[in-house]
Every structure is written in C-alpha cells, then in structure tokens.
Structure 1
Amino acid sequence: MTTITDNTIYSFEDLSPVKIPKSHLFGSCVHVGDYEKLNKIGQGTYGVVYKARNIKTNEILALKRIKIEKLKDGFPISSVREINILRTVRHPNIVEFKDVVVGKSLDNVFLVMEYCEQDLATLIDCKIHFTESQIKCLMQQLFCGLKYLHKNFIIHRDLKVSNLLLTDKGLLKIADFGLARNYGCPGDPMSPCVVTLWYRAPELLFHSNYHSTAIDMWAAGCIFGELLLQKPLLPGQSEIQQIDLIINLIGTPNDRIWPGFNDLPIAKSFTVKHQPFNNISHIFSCVSKAGIRLLNLLLMYDPCKRATADECLQSSYFRESPLPCDPSVMPSFPQKS
C-alpha cells in the first residue's frame, strides 16, 4: 500500500519516498480548474459541497471536496467506498455521480455530482408545510431509492433529512454516501458508531455488533415522522437521552418483543425505564390508520420484524386518499444560496 504527498509516493512498508513527474501524478483526471465554484451549499459527512459551473459546457453541478485530515495518511477509505458505490448505482432517486476532479495536490480532490436545488432539512427549517399528498410522494420516492440500494446489498448508514435532496422537478435524491457500505453475509459485523443520533436505530444505540438494511428503515421512519410533524421526531442530545425518547414513543424493549435484547452490551449495563405504552397513534393523531400502521412497522425494536422498503411501497397508505402527488407537480422552492 502507498500514500501520496505532492509528487512523492511513500511506501507504507518502509516509508521510502519515490518521486514521480508532476505530469503523471493524476493520470487522466480532469482538473478542477475546468469548474467555476459559485457558492458553498453544504457540508456532508466527509467533505464540503459547492455549487459549480462546468466552464466548457455551462452545466450546473455540485462539487464535493474530499476532506483529507492528514495528507501523509493518504486518501480516506470512506471516500474510496463512496466513489466505488456511486460509480455502480443508477437510479432516479439516488444522486448521480459524474466524475472525480483534482487540483494541484491530493488534498484538493472533488467528486462531481448532479446539482439539486434543495434539501429537506432546509425546507423543514424554513417551516415549509408539506401536504399529506406531498409527504406521500416524498416517502414513496425514498422507499424506491432504498429498495434499489438494499437490493444491491448497499446500506446507506446515514439517512437524515439533510441527506435527502430535492430537484426543481420534484425528484427526491438520496445523497452523501460517505458512511455507506456494501454488505455480504447476514450478520456481517460493522461499527455501531454510524447514523446521525436522531435517526439512529435501537440496535446501534444498544451497541449490537451486527446490523443490516433495517437501520436505514428505522431512519426512514424517523424521516417520515419528521415530515408529518415538521420537526425532528427524536431529537436526543446523547445516546442515553435518545434511548429515553424512543422508550417514551414506543415503550420499553424486552426479550419478548426483541429476541436477544437482554444480551446486548448496553442492555446489560444500563437499566431502561419502564414505559408500557406505544404512543405513536397519540402523537400522530391526525394520521390515518394505514399511516400509523406504516410508522409502527418502521419504528419497531426488532430489526428482523422492521418493514423492508419493498413492503413499505406495498402499504395501503399510498393507495388511500389523498394519493401521492406526481413529483412533477411538487412545488418549486428557492435555490439554496
């Protein structure tokens, strides 16, 4: 293995330097100078995002600068994973990857992505009111994107409203794959320290060593609730408080409703409070029975019983009045400045 600094390659084995000509340093990569940065539009898990214009074609795109903490440590493995995943996925509800472009050194590397005018977090923060028909449209698109990812053995692992982009044509796009992973065999161990706290599934909070696509479905349930309430559903400030908020919402977990719960590391060391009630129907009193059923299937302790994206798409919630609106008639919102 090697790491690159300026025009020198250092071997990881003996740290011996090898100089290479600058003309060969980046091979055939496009230079970032072919793009004009217009303004900063956001910050993902592992990099800053800019709105930019391709100088040659005038196309408006997004440039995501890869965050490299220490150049001597080489290119971040998270970015390698993100590039590898984005190169293989093609779906209307997943942000489109275009290219990798470079500056004068390896701490100046950008992913070129399609540009989307808004993200759901900004719209919720601006108190934009979504109708139930529009919420159904957004959730249906989210489930379509997740169905595609999970069918292709990809877990996003950082779903939240700020990672859901919206185009001026009403298309929802899942973005920021900095924490995404391919998964193979069931029970493949992964780090529990993923997913922004407010959207983190119980199996992660209780430090299970194994998780699956079900963590994305829990996050989707939190997003669904946030769209309905127009505010975060479970805004905890610590893991302990997050567990407390979940218990307040759906009751106390136990081995009966979540087999194996008592063997989880946090369950052994932390006494959870007793709260026997599921309060989803109370909090979402204006939502139909089908909508409550869908929320309950997503916000379920046992990941093995949690609804899949395909099952969510079959929900009667999307077939009852009001029906999901077509993306093309979603309202247009001002672009992020």
Structure 2
Amino acid sequence: MDKEVIAVSAMDAFEKLEKVGEGTYGKVYRAREKATGKIVALKKTRLHEDEEGVPSTTLREISILRMLARDPHIVMLMDVKQGLSKDGKTVLYLVFEYMDTDVKKYIRSFRQTGDNIPPQIVKSLMYQLCKGIAFCHGHGVLH
C-alpha cells in the first residue's frame, strides 16, 4: 500500500471538534476518536524534513513524552500518527489524553472574577506541579 495513502487514512480515525490552542510548534485540537468516542487532544506539528525524514529532535521529544507518560502528574501521550496537510506537507499528530483546562486558564479564571485561589487549592496545585517536575528531573529531563 502506498505510504501516502496510509498516512492520510491514519487521521480518518479522528474527528477534529475545535482548535483549543496554538503555539510555536503547532496547533492543538480537541478531537473524538471515531472507533471509541473517546475525546483526545491532537497536537498537529509540521515537520521540517531533512534528508533522514523525521528530525532527530522530534524523535527525541516523542521518546521523552512516552517515557514521562507513566507519571500521573504529566499529560499522557497516547499515540503518534503521521499525515499530510492540505498542501501535501508531512505532519505528525501527537495524540494526548484530553484535559478540560490547564493551570494558566484556571488561574486566569480567578483573576477575572477578582477572587483569590483558596490556599488548599494552591497547595494541591503546587504539590502536583512539583511531583511532575520531580519525575522529569528523576529521569534526566529538565523542563
């Protein structure tokens, strides 16, 4: 089977629902896995292909994310899919567990209302952040 046909059909397994973020390395979509109905986060990253195919930095990032996914304080990378953009460029889709919000949005919601974050919630958030960072550091990954 042609490699391009496989790449395009790999993304047929998901239905993009909405764009939830955009950063330096790509766009993030809330999506539904068609077979299970499970909601996931799809991070679409365009590859800057070199002579070897997928850049070594991208392979290293995926390897680190897979290793770190074992910790409950770190968002889990579930899968990696290759596809083609509308203009025929190769893209990677990193399939993550979907989180309803992130710490930045959560803190912003308190600032917008003028409320203080309750101390117990601050302690809980800090504990979880420290546990996640400690796991990274314990595996030689600096964040």
TM-score for the superposition, normalised by structure 1: 0.36
Q: Does 1:151 align with 2:130?
A: no
| Unmatched 5+ stretches in structure 1 | 1-21, 157-337
C-alpha separation in 2, matches of 1:29 and 1:83: 20
Identity among equivalent positions (%) equals: 35
Query: Aligned-pair distance for 1:110?
Result: 0.4
After the TM superposition, which of the residue ranges 31-40 and 122-131 deviates more from structure 2? 122-131
C-alpha separation in 1, matches of 2:105 and 2:98: 16
The answer to whether the Cα contact below 8 Å between 2:40 and 2:96 also exists between their aligned partners in 1 is yes
1:117 paired residue number: 100
C-alpha deviations, 1:121-159, integer Å up to 9, x for none? Answer: 223333264111100000001111111111111112xxx
Structure whose CA Rg is larger: 1
The answer to whether the Cα contact below 8 Å between 2:21 and 2:27 also exists between their aligned partners in 1 is yes
| Distance 1:30-1:149 versus aligned 2 partners, 3 A rule | farther
C-alpha separation in 1, matches of 2:78 and 2:93: 11
Q: Does 1:137 align with 2:124?
A: yes
2:36 partner SS: coil
C-alpha separation in 2, matches of 1:135 and 1:87: 28
The answer to whether the Cα contact below 8 Å between 1:30 and 1:100 also exists between their aligned partners in 2 is no
| Distance 1:26-1:154 versus aligned 2 partners, 3 A rule | farther
Which of residues 22, 41, 52 is equivalent to 1:62?
A: 41
C-alpha deviations, 1:266-313, integer Å up to 9, x for none? Answer: xxxxxxxxxxxxxxxxxxxxxxxxxxxxxxxxxxxxxxxxxxxxxxxx
Amino acid at match of 2:71: H
Query: Aligned-pair distance for 1:40?
Result: 0.6
1:109 partner SS: strand
RMSD over aligned Cα, in angstroms? 2.6
| Unmatched 5+ stretches in structure 2 | none
Which one has more relative contact order, counting CA pairs under 8 Å at least 6 apart?
A: 2
1:97 paired residue number: 77
The answer to whether the Cα contact below 8 Å between 1:52 and 1:63 also exists between their aligned partners in 2 is yes
Q: Does 1:108 align with 2:91?
A: yes
Query: Aligned-pair distance for 1:27?
Result: 7.0
The answer to whether the Cα contact below 8 Å between 2:31 and 2:40 also exists between their aligned partners in 1 is yes
| Distance 1:93-1:114 versus aligned 2 partners, 3 A rule | same
Which of residues 31, 46, 71 is equivalent to 2:10?
A: 31
1:154 partner SS: coil
1:1-337 equivalences under 5 Å are 23-24=2-3, 31-68=10-47, 70-71=48-49, 74-89=53-68, 90-104=70-84, 107-126=90-109, 127=111, 129-156=116-143
C-alpha deviations, 1:3-42, integer Å up to 9, x for none? Answer: xxxxxxxxxxxxxxxxxxx624587997011100000111
The answer to whether the Cα contact below 8 Å between 1:34 and 1:54 also exists between their aligned partners in 2 is yes
| Distance 1:155-1:37 versus aligned 2 partners, 3 A rule | same
Query: Aligned-pair distance for 1:45?
Result: 3.9
C-alpha separation in 1, matches of 2:6 and 2:76: 23
Amino acid at match of 2:138: K
Query: Aligned-pair distance for 1:103?
Result: 2.1
The answer to whether the Cα contact below 8 Å between 2:7 and 2:82 also exists between their aligned partners in 1 is no
Query: Aligned-pair distance for 1:72?
Result: 5.5
C-alpha separation in 2, matches of 1:147 and 1:46: 25
